[in-house]
Structures are given as structure tokens and as C-alpha cells.
Structure 1
Amino acid sequence: MNATQIQNALVLCMILGFAATEIISRRYKNTVHATANDTKLELFMFLSLLAISQPLAMLVTAKLGAWLAPEYKDILADWPWWGMAGILILCDDLTQYWWHRLSHSPLLWPLHRAHHSAQYMSIRITFRNNFFYYLMMPGLWLAGVLIYLGVGGLVYALYVVVKLTVIVGAHCAWRWDEPLYKIPALRPVMWVVERTISTPATHWAHHAITQKDGVGHYKGNFGNLLFIWDIIFGSAHITQKYPAQVGLKDDQLFGQEHWYHQMFYPLFQSKREYSALKFGGKIYAEDE
């Protein structure tokens, strides 16, 4: 098996594993109440990321590299694995932290709103976003550049597996960190873990419908693989608790946005009276 095949096999096993925990624990049946609108958005976004956004970024960066800088092809191929991992973390995960954080600004919120409109947490919402959110994500294009420069093979494959495992696990309906918090001997370990990587407790807080309960923190906890970026840049909120509700208050008040408005804004714009998914619209503020 080559590196890509190993990566795909491990990712598939990981997804099936988390899916099994959601079903066996009955968390999926008891907490995931998705509509047909939710399913269409999540399915089409997942397929578009696999079939369009990611391949396009890899293809374009490879073509531009061969045209503009052919002498730099595979120039980093002899780097040690830790050097490759380090530059991936900086160019992919750190930039994704800032892209995610900027996506909570009024200008970019419509491209990320879909991820927060789910009124449940599950592995199925991991890639739920606007089509252009991923197409414009700097880390995706920088990863393509790094692959052209030689940061690939098994190092890149395992980086992808580790990152996706953390991200999918942070969205999982079964909260893997919850039983670990209850074991006194693991308290020092969990103190380190929750400050290093994204966990269900910290990421569920980011999806909370309110911040008024002291648990929710949708204005922070932006980390994807590494939560340490939130620690460094002052956006962390750690409680070891989980919000009572996730989703968006405006959807509760005015009804769900249609999946194609969420996925393809600004090409398609909402007809809802109060909406961020139309020109001149704005983010619904919690205190309104």
C-alpha cells in the first residue's frame, strides 16, 4: 500500500469507529435529530470537499509550482519527519485557526454559519460548511504547496489521520473525554490534553447556542487539531462541561435556512426576513 492508500484506510477505520460509538452509546439516536435539510447540506458539502475543493487546490498548486518554480519541486523531500510535521502544523493548523477565527467576523460569518446551524453534535457535521469556506481556506492551498515542495508521503498521510481523528472526535456525539474527567488519577493528564488538542468539552462549548451559562464560548475555542493556539492567542475557555444546547438562536426563532443558501451563499441568498445569508444581513446577536 502507498501512503495515500494507508491514509484513506486509516481515516475510514477512524470514521467507522466513531460512528460505532455514537450508535452503541445511543447518543446518535437520543441527541441527533437531523432534518432532510441538514442531511442534504452535510452530504453535498462532504462530497464537494472530496471531489472539488481539495483536488482543485492540489492540482492548481502543482500546476503553478511546475510553471513558476520548477526548481523547487521536492526541495523539502529530505527533511526529517519532525521538520515536515512542524511546517505542516504551522502552515495548515495555525492558519486554519486564524481562518476559523476570522470566519466569526461579520464579513466571513456567512461562509461558516452552516457549521453552527446544526442543532446537534455528531461526526456528520465535521465538514458542514459553506462551499466557499473550504475553497478559500488558506491551509488547504498551503498544504498543496508543501506537497509540491516534497512534504508528502507517509508523514503527510499520518498528519492528516491524526488531525482528522482529533477533529472528528471533537464533534462526535459520544463525548470521549467525559468519562476520563471522572477518574481522579487522570486529572493531570486531562489538564494537559485539553490544553493541547481540541476535545469535545472545548469544541462543544464553541458550538453552544448561548454564552450566558458560563459554559458556552462561541467567541473562542477556535482550534482544530491544536487547542494550544487558543491558549496562546487568548481565545480559550475551559470548563470540562458541555452546553445544554448547540446551534443558532436565530434558527430557533425564524426557522432553518435552506441548505443551498447555506452551502452556496453568496450565489444563492436567503429569503428569510432576519438572515446573515443575504446582502445587507447581519449576525444575530444573543442580546437582541
Structure 2
Amino acid sequence: MTGAGGVQFFWHLFDPRGALLIALIFLPLERLMPTDENQPVLRSGWRTDVAYFLLNRLPAGLGLIVLVVAAVLAGDILVPPTVKASIAALPLWLQVPLLLLLADFVFYAAHRMCHFVPVLWRFHAIHHSAENLDWLAAFRIHPIDQMMTKGMSLIPCFTLGFSEAAVAIYFVFYQWHAILLHSNVRLPFGPLRWVLASPVFHHWHHADDPRAWNRNFGAQLSIWDLMFGTAQMQHDALPRSYGVEGEVPKDYLAQLAHPLRRQRGVGDRIAASEEAPFRP
């Protein structure tokens, strides 16, 4: 995919029709098959998350476009044309799972860094500050954090020569699966949970429980957490509470500025997770 193609591919981030479609699908789903039947639609923090939903796509989208252009240029310089041609020549049914494996591994590594590198955690903690999880909470992401996690996972898409069709399929899956993971929708994955990340899997990643901190880093797949010993695979119960230790501002603009201030408590969170791993 060329730099121009990558930029054009991301222009849909600014299309409000996509946001409307997401709301029309997940609002009724969370009423029809809720995980937490007592959680209201207008739960705590909903105004802040609506602001992220409506406003964040501009700064985050521009940042991702810059990363895509840089990734395409880096691929042209660093990746031999024969490698890119070989990948592009693979059938689509091979390209998509290969891209999923590579992109999710990069996401796993970047996401794990965001929990263990204090300066990165300052930005990522904004996402974890949500005290209720639903489809809207998926959008509470600081733009810099989104460039670090989602942006890094897109590097294989645009450096290695994957076809536009494979990148499009991966991106659609990533977007909708990410919203599903945060949603208040009861959807058991059964045996698939050992391969694909489920809503319960990701809800435990957000748990306000020191025993479950820094677990379940995978975005689409659970296999990397199983492989590297960071999986918390409880599937028959959800956390009692979500959020982070310490004070995080409640409104959108204050949260964007918050990571730029000096933060405390990150070391305590990391130490607690290492000393008391959660093994249900």
C-alpha cells in the first residue's frame, strides 16, 4: 500500500456515519443482552466518553495518518521488494491471519510497555480511569496513547506489503472487536477464548484489583498472554469494579492535559501485580 493509499484509507476516521452506526448497533445490544443488568445507559462518566467519541477522532486520526505515512516510507527503505511482493502474492485467506498475528503481537508488546514504563502509563491510565465499561468506554483513549498502541499495531500493515484488502479486513475487525471487548454485552466465547480475546478477558484487564493488574494485554488474541504468562483466563465472573488508583480528572480537556503533570503511584501498581498474580 502506498503512502497516498494509507492516508486515503484513514480519511473515514472523520466520517460521522461510522460513529452513528456504532451507536445504533451497541446501544440496543447492551439492553438486550447485558453483562451488568443494573448498569444504566447514562452511567457515571458518560459525558466524558461522549466527548472522546465525538472529538477524539480528529487528533487521534491525524496522528495515525502521520504514523502510516512514516511506516510506508520505512517499509520502502528497510523491507526488500521481494519480501513485500511475496507477502502481497499470498492469497487473502493467508494474508489476513498472518497480519492479525503480527499486528496483535506488536500491540501486545506496545500495550505491555504502556503499563510498565511510567511516562507511557501516564497516558494509558486515562483509558483505565473508566469506572464503568460499555461500548462508549472504548473511546476513552488519550490521542498519544492511541498512537502508541493502535498506531504501533498498524506498522506491519503498511511496511510489509500486505494488500489493501487484507489491511481493510484487519482494520474493520480491529475496530469492531475493540468496541465489543469494552461493551456491556454478554457474549460467551466458549473454547474460542483460548485464541480470541473475549469481553470477559478484556474486562479483567480493566479490573480495579491488584491481583489482576497488568494482565490480558492482547487486543484481538489471547495467545500472546498465554505464551508469555500474563493471561488471566477467568471466564465465569466479572470484576467487581474498574478504574485506577489516584485522582484522574473527570472531564475531557482536563484528562488530555493530565498526563503532562507529574504522576505518582505507578510503581506501586506494578509491584502489586508482580507480587500477587491472580490465579483463579
TM-score (norm 2): 0.74
Change (3 A) 1:34 1:82: same
Q: Percent identity among equivalent residues? A: 22
Aligned to 2:278: none
Match of 2:239 among 239, 243, 247: 243
| CA offset digits 1:201-259 (Å, max 9, x no partner) | 111111111145xxxx22201111001111111111122210111112324xxx63553
Aligned to 1:21: 29
Aligned to 1:32: 43
Aligned to 1:207: 206
| CA offset digits 1:236-283 (Å, max 9, x no partner) | 1122210111112324xxx635533533565x42xxxxxxxx2x6342
Q: Is 1:120 matched up with 2:132?
A: yes
One-letter amino acid of the counterpart of residue 116, structure 2: S
CA distance in 2, matches of 1:102, 1:46: 24
CA distance in 2, matches of 1:199, 1:285: 28
Flag as ranges the 4+ runs of structure 1 deviating above 6 A.
7-12, 67-70
Q: 5+ unaligned residues in a row in structure 2: which ranges?
A: 1-8, 273-280
Aligned length: 251
Aligned to 1:144: 158
Q: CA deviation at 1:139?
A: 1.6
SS of the residue corresponding to residue 104 of structure 1 reads helix
TM-score (norm 1): 0.72
Q: CA deviation at 1:83?
A: 3.5
Q: CA deviation at 1:19?
A: 3.0
Aligned to 1:104: 115
Bigger share in helix: 2
Q: CA deviation at 1:152?
A: 2.4
SS of the residue corresponding to residue 77 of structure 1 reads helix
Q: Is 1:54 matched up with 2:50?
A: no
SS of the residue corresponding to residue 88 of structure 2 reads coil
| CA offset digits 1:57-116 (Å, max 9, x no partner) | 223333455677795696232122243224312331111011111111142211211110
Q: CA deviation at 1:29?
A: 2.3
Change (3 A) 1:91 1:245: same
Change (3 A) 1:173 1:260: same
One-letter amino acid of the counterpart of residue 203, structure 1: H
Change (3 A) 1:96 1:284: same
